[in-house]
Amino acid sequence: MAHIPVQHGPSASTLGTPRSQIGVVVDRQTVDLKRLEKRVGRVHWQQRVGIEADHATQIFGRGRTFFHIENWYSIHTVIRLTLKALGLYGRGLRNAAAIQIRHNDVFLPHLPKAFDGFTLLQLSDLHLDMDEDYPAALIERLRQIHYDACVMTGDFRAKTYGPFDAAIAALAKVRPHLRAPIYTILGNHDSIQMVPAIERLGIATLLNEAVTLEHGGARIHLAGIDDPHYYQVDNFDKAAANIPPEEVSILLSHSPETYRLAAHAGFDLMLSGHTHGGQICLPGGIALMTNADCPRAFCRGAWRYHTMQGYTSTGSGASVVGVRFNCPPEITLHHLRVAPTQ
Ligand SMILES: [Fe+2]
């Protein structure tokens, strides 16, 4: 099988680096990417990097849905000009900057008592390089909240391909305002080659992997799958391999499209993003499109499938065009609770 070469572009880690040291930095990136390839395995690595290389100009017919508006850059201009002509563009920008803090109580029957009240902050779909003022707006909200661990459900970059330096630089600005531990997954806007830079910021990336969260002498499990929407490189077998079935487990999945696989894999809670709740909605929050191959009930807010509970964040950023209507951006605090006995 042919080995797909990694494309090295300028990266966040070379920003501001003297020219004489750039060779050393590039060598370090090569070592980091080789280490990452070994960690995720040859097949996952080649599929992810290969599809990223194929991806650059494809609009139709890949991934779980036929049409990917996020990949069709000429339509972005059409939407922007239409909103300007209708006099709605300014209002849409203001809506997109007004990030809400949402609370979601999750009652879990088998949650260890020590985790009663444990709070997870979920950040999703930051698209950090969409607007240079966005990190400051997000930081202002982060200063107002308290939580025990942070999880991120993917989509750091605005575009679906190309350089990611600006997104990483913006993430570096936000990072000091986040409380550790911090875990993330990758979305369909993210390259696997971003992972070393993300992890150098102290944000662990779960690529079909799981970690154990310990608190007060008890433990639960947090797993994360790689993007299931466009790349379809999610692997439940690998992600859940070391999770005892009788213990509480939470899954991070960029898109809610995996709800059936996750429920039947035995997860207790699934946290997702990707849909942006529609981002541009009719009054009442009716999405014009969700960009997800699943029922709309799974595309925004809290939901349940069999015994698994789920939550799909509207995201705190915006993509395609940086506006929102009838669908506020959010950061979400999930408060884990022991379910009362019946
Ligand atoms: Fe997104």
What residues contact residue 87 under an 8 Å CB cut-off, 6+ apart? Answer: none
Q: Which three-class secondary structure state does DSSP give residue 198? A: helix
Find the 313 Cα to ligand 1 centroid distance in Å: 10
Distance from residue 29's CA to the centre of ligand 1 (Å):
26
Ligand 1 centre to CA of 299 (Å) is 12
- CA of 238 from ligand 1 middle (Å) equals 24
* Ligand 1 mean position, distance from CA 148 (Å): 24
- Give DSSP secondary structure letters for 248-311: -EEEE-SSGGGHHHHHHHT-SEEEE-SSGGGSBEETTTEES---SSS-GGGSSEEEEETTEEEE
Predicted local confidence at residue 27, as pLDDT: 82
Q: What is the pLDDT of residues 47-104, one digit of tens each?
A: 999 999 887 656 555 555 655 666 666 778 888 888 898 889 999 999 999 999 999 9
The answer for residues whose C-beta is within 8 angstroms of residue 242's C-beta and 6 or more apart is: 210
Mapped onto helix, strand or coil, the DSSP state of residue 127 is coil
Q: Between 3.30.70.2190, 3.40.50.300, 3.40.50.1370, 3.60.21.10, what CATH number should domain 69-338 receive?
A: 3.60.21.10
CA–centroid distance, residue 155 to ligand 1 (Å)? 5
H helices present in 42-87, as ranges? 42-55, 73-85
Amino acid 70: pLDDT: 63
Amino acid at 132: E
The neighbour count for residue 58, using CB atoms within 10 Å, is 16
| Ion ligand 1 contact residues with beta carbon within 5 A | 125, 155, 319
Q: Provide the b/e sequence for 139-161 (b: ≥16 CB within 10 Å).
A: eebbeeeebbbbbbbbbbbbbbe
| Amino acid of residue 49 | V
CA 191 / ligand 1 centre spacing (Å): 13
For the ranges 59-63, 97-101, 139-143, 227-231, the lowest mean pLDDT is seen at 59-63
What's the gap in Å between 125 CA and the centre of ligand 1? 4
Q: Looking at residue 69, what DSSP letter applies?
A: G
- pLDDT at residue 75 in the model: 79
Compute, in angstroms, the gap from residue 14 CA to the centroid of ligand 1.
26
Ligand 1 mean position to 49 CA, how many Å?
Answer: 20
User: Cα of 240 to ligand 1 centre, how many Å?
Assistant: 25
- Cα–Cα distances in angstroms (integers) from residue 230 to residues 54, 156, 227, in the given order: 12, 15, 7
CA of 274 to the centre of ligand 1 (A): 4
- The whole-angstrom separation of Cα 209 and Cα 255 is 17
**pLDDT(149) > 60:** yes
List CB contacts of 319: < 8 A, sequence separation 6 or more.
Answer: 70, 125, 127, 130, 155, 158, 189, 276, 279
Domain ranges of the chain: 69-338
Count of positions (residues) in the chain: 342
